[in-house]
Amino acid sequence: MPGPLSGLLVVAVEQAVAAPFATRQLADLGARVIKIERPGGDFARDYDAAVHGQSSHFVWLNRGKESVELDLKQDAHVLRALLARADVFVQNLAPGAMGRLGFGASLAEDFPRLITCDISGYGSDGPYRDRKAYDLLIQSEAGLISVTGTPSSPAKVGIAAADIAAGMYAYSGILTALYDRSRTGRGCAFEVSMLEALGEWMGFPYYYGVYGGSAPVRSGVHHATIAPYGAYRAGDGAVLQLGVQNEREWLEFCRVVLLLPHVAVDARFASNSARVAHRSELDAVIDSVFGGLSGSELVGRLESARIAFGQQRTVAEFAQHPQLQSRDRWRTVSTPGGDVQALLPPVTVRGQEPSMGPVPAVGQHTESVLRWLGF
C-alpha cells in the first residue's frame, strides 16, 4: 500500500542530524523528499567511514531521499521552482542564512500553502541567536550533562540527544501543520530550537531541582531517586539492570530474589527514600546475594518475583536482539557502498510497510530533478 504521506513533496535544505532525522521519517511514510546538498555534499557524509566506507550518521538519516547538489548562491532559482511545487520546506542552516538567499518571511506570501520548518540551535532571536550549536554544546547548555555520569565525573549522553529531540519535534510539528492545512487550506511557518527541544526532555530534573532545592545526583547507571534501580553483577560476571518501582515489588524482591524477607522491614530500607539515603548499604546486601548466583539463576529469581530487569547489551548484541528478530524488525536498505540492515520505524501500522528507500549518492538526482522542473 502507498504510505500515508505519498504524493507529498518535501524540500529540505539540510545538514548534520536534526533536520535530516525529521525528513527521513517523512520519507519512511511515503513522502517524496528532495534533499538539497551543498557542492561536495552534506558535511555529515564525512563524519566517519564505518559503513562500507560511508558515514554511519548519513546512512542512518538519509534513506529514501533524492539528493540534489546545488550552490544556492547561484542556483536559488532552482530552489524557488521546487518550493512552488512543495508541500513542506525544512531547513537548518545558520540563522538568517536562508533570508540572505531570498527565502525569508516572503515565502508565506509567495507560497501560501507551503509549510515551513526552521530548525536552529537557540531560536530566531535572543542573545544566543547567532551562536554555533552542536549537540555537545546544547547538552551542556540545557543541563543534561550536569545530571549525567557519576558523582565525580559528568558525561555527555552517548547519542545526539539534542539533535534527535529537535528532529522529533520538527517531525511532529510538520504532521500537525499538515493536519491544520487540511482544514484551513493554508500553510504555516514554525521553528524548533535544539535548546528548547532538549529543555522539554529536562522536565524531571528541572522540577526536581528547582522546586526540590537540589539537582538530581549523578548516579551512573543507577537511578538518582529510586533504589534499587540500576546495574548489578551476578557471580559469573553477567550484568543485569533491574528496577524496583514500588513497595509491593520491594517486598517480593526481598522474599523471592534475595531470600531475605527481613531486609524488607529493615528501617534503613523500609521506604524508597530510606533506600536511596542508604544506597551503599543496600547495594552491599544485594551484592552479597547476587555474587553467589549465576546470571541464569538470577534471571530465574527475578522472573519468579516479576521484577523488571534487562540485560546490559553491547551494540553488537543489540543488533542480534532476539525480540527484534522474532518480530521481524530488520529490513535491507541499499546504499552506494553496499546493502545495510536498518531497523523499522517504531510506529507499527497493521497492513502498512514503511518505504525505507535507498541512501542516495551526492547529487545522484540533480539531473532528473532539474529535468522534472523543466530546466
Positions marked catalytic: 223
Q: How far, in Å, CA of 5 to CA of 28, rounded?
A: 9
CA angle 47, 103, 138 (to 5 degrees): 40
Using an 8 Å Cβ cutoff, are 86 and 12 in contact? no
Beta 65-69 vs 88-91: how paired, if at all? unpaired
Per-residue buried b or exposed e for 172-210, using 16+ beta carbons within 10 Å of the residue's own CB: ebbbebbeebeeeeebbeebbbbbbbbbebbeebbebbe
Q: Is 331 left (phi over 0), alpha (psi -120 to 50) or beta?
A: beta
- Residue 65's SS3 state is strand
Q: How far, in Å, CA of 89 to CA of 118, rounded?
A: 8
Nearest C-alpha neighbor of 182 from the set 278, 105, 113, 125: 113
Output DSSP code: residue 132.
Answer: -
